[in-house]
Structure 1
Amino acid sequence: MDMRRAFACTLLLAAMSPLSASDASSKLYIVYMGEKKHDDPSMVTASHHDILTSVFGSKDEAMKSIVYSYRHGFSGFAAMLTESQAATLVECSDVLSVRPNIYHESHTTRSWDFLGLDYDQPPADSGLLQKAKYGEDVIIGVIDSGLQPHF
């Protein structure tokens, strides 16, 4: 990140009023920065630390807040932030979006039970296609459950 962007993020942080009591609790946020600007993953991670340092004012605090760096397919990171810190990051030109992490519970890990299928029947006379209504109203997909930190 160039010095002007770091300075702009620092000014935004300085311009904000002191944290209120409601801002005292941190939550996990996902910060998306788009396409990587470096091919070296360590440089991508360093840029994440730099932008967080501009928000926290301390490299040590920035390093403590980061939970994960997305540095291979795109640039972004997951970090523990207050609402006002997340709002500050949104204003930085390198940041495309900042969203709170959402945890979704799995409905099942046993798809055949969830779909009401009998997986013990021999395949020849299972009638699986008929029971499944030939796939009518069924969407099949892969769900990446993503990052699930436990605090």
Structure 2
Amino acid sequence: MMKKDQILSSILLFFFLFTAFITTMADSQASSQPSNESKVHIVYTEQPKDQEPEEYHIKTLTSVLGSEEAAKEALLYSYKHAASGFSAKLTAEQVSELSKLPGVLQVVPSQTVQLHTGRV
């Protein structure tokens, strides 16, 4: 039986690997676009109350992007378990506006990271 720390570590590892995978897919699609276009960002939010996480994330994006359709198009993934937040393709101006909204804790550019282990 796994200990709680091992389970938490496994969940966090999965979360970061999945985020890296989603980011890599989005980056490869966006690599042909000019640098002033939308880039993938991870948006950390407070845990939504009385609302499904994805619904809350779309509502948050809609307030910046102007329409639910634009929000759904920009949304890449909605994080519901290990953390509350979402990944979305956003311009620098949208990131600035989103960062000021209540309930948004942090907006960071998504990065692809290489995992290193001591195992051979």
Query: Structure 1 residue 70 and structure 2 residue 79: aligned?
Result: yes
Q: How does 1:2-151 map to 2 (within 5 A)?
A: 24-38=36-50, 43-107=52-116, 111-112=119-120
Q: Which runs of 5+ in 2 are unaligned?
A: 1-33
State the distance in 2 between where 1:69 and 1:49 align: 9
Per the TM alignment, residue 77 of structure 1 is displaced from its structure 2 partner at its CA by: 0.3
| Residues 32 and 96, structure 1, Cα contact 8 Å, conserved in 2 | yes
Structure with a larger share of its residues in helix: 2
TM-score (structure 1 length as normaliser):
0.51
The percent of aligned pairs where both chains have the same amino acid is 37
State the distance in 1 between where 2:79 and 2:69 align: 20
Higher relative contact order (CA 8 A, sep 6+): 2
Structure 1 stretches of 4+ with a deviation exceeding 2 A read: 34-38, 105-108
The number of aligned residues is: 87
Per the TM alignment, residue 107 of structure 1 is displaced from its structure 2 partner at its CA by: 4.6
| Residues 47 and 53, structure 2, Cα contact 8 Å, conserved in 1 | no
Q: Which runs of 5+ in 1 are unaligned?
A: 1-21, 113-151
Per the TM alignment, residue 45 of structure 1 is displaced from its structure 2 partner at its CA by: 0.6
Question: Residue 111 of structure 1: SS of its match in structure 2?
Answer: coil
The CA RMSD over aligned residues, in Å, is 2.2
| Farther-moved stretch of structure 1 (27-36 vs 45-54) | 27-36
State the distance in 1 between where 2:35 and 2:116 align: 33
| Residues 46 and 84, structure 2, Cα contact 8 Å, conserved in 1 | yes
TM-score (structure 2 length as normaliser):
0.64
The code of the aligned residue for 2:63 comes to: S
| Residues 23 and 82, structure 1, Cα contact 8 Å, conserved in 2 | no
Q: Deviations over 1:1-20 (max 9, x none)?
A: xxxxxxxxxxxxxxxxxxxx
